[in-house]
Amino acid sequence: MIDLSAYDRMLDVGGGSGAHSLGAVTRWPHLRAVVLDLPPVCEVAREFIAKEGLQDRIETRSGDIFEDPFPEADLHFYSNIYHDWSREKGVVLTQKSFRSLPAGGRIVVHEMLLDDDKAGPLTTAGYSIGMLLWSADGGQYSGQELTEMLAEAGFRQIETRSTFGYNSIVTGVKPAAAIG
């Protein structure tokens, strides 16, 4: 859905198994990736990365996405991360990405998006309600809410695109004149 040919290193924030990193580096052979997640999750990711023989292009980094500095990258990718947290914590992650990305760097937020009025779609609304059972402050966001978070942090060229099924991406670029 996005041409990543201009980027060299992707940070897969909370990247879990590394599936998105595996897909990205397979599609763009010049791209390298770092999966940032908790230590036991990184162990699982390393197994998948090794199975595909991509240890030379994808590394794992154990850490806390809120507390630890982000490894150097010009592309930050979040898949189903923002919905785990309150808007305040989403703002923290967005600002952290903005500060650590170089000028021209891109953020990509991959989520099931609510409509701007938050009344649907039904599947996304149902998923958001289900999260109340296991997340203290999470829930699905609308494309408008994520767009506002990115814009407030300083990102420009913000776009929302449908991807597959109920999923979409919201993406923005750190402008060249930005001081992060």
Could you tell me the CATH number of the domain that includes residue 154?
3.40.50.150
Which helix (H) or strand (E) element contains residue 173?
strand 167-173
Contacts 24+ apart (CB under 8 A), 19-25: 19/48, 20/77, 20/79, 20/110, 21/49, 21/58, 21/77, 22/48, 22/49, 22/52, 22/54, 22/58, 24/77, 25/54, 25/57, 25/58
Tell me whether residue 32 is in a domain: yes
Q: Which domain holds residue 159?
A: 9-173
Tell me whether residue 91 is in a domain: yes
- Contact in structure between 161 and 180 (CB atoms under 8 Å): no
How many domains, in total, are found in the chain? 1
Rounded Cα distance, 167 and 131, in Å: 16
Q: How many CA atoms lie within 13 A of 41 on its CB side?
A: 16
Q: DSSP of 87-144, one letter per residue? A: HHHHHHHHHHHHHHSPTT-EEEEEEEPBPTTS---HHHHHHHHHHTTT-SS----BHH
Q: Which two structure tokens, joined as six digits, stand for 95?
A: 């600002």
Rounded Cα distance, 133 and 138, in Å: 10
Tell me whether residue 112 is in a domain: yes
**Alpha-carbon dihedral angle through residues 114, 119, 123, 128, given to the nearest 10 degrees:** 70
* Triad 41, 71, 138: Cα angle to 5°: 55
The residue from 20, 30, 76, 83 that is catalytic is: 83
Residue 30 falls in the annotated catalytic set: no
Longest distance between any two alpha carbons in the chain, whole Å: 45
Mean pLDDT of the chain: 88
Per-residue pLDDT tens over the stretch 111-146: 877 656 666 554 555 555 555 566 667 667 787 889
Tell me whether residue 63 is in a domain: yes
Tell me whether residue 180 is in a domain: no
Per-residue pLDDT tens over the stretch 48-90: 999 999 999 999 999 999 999 999 999 999 998 887 788 899 9
Tell me whether residue 178 is in a domain: no
Q: Which pLDDT value is given to residue 122? A: 46
Tell me whether residue 100 is in a domain: yes
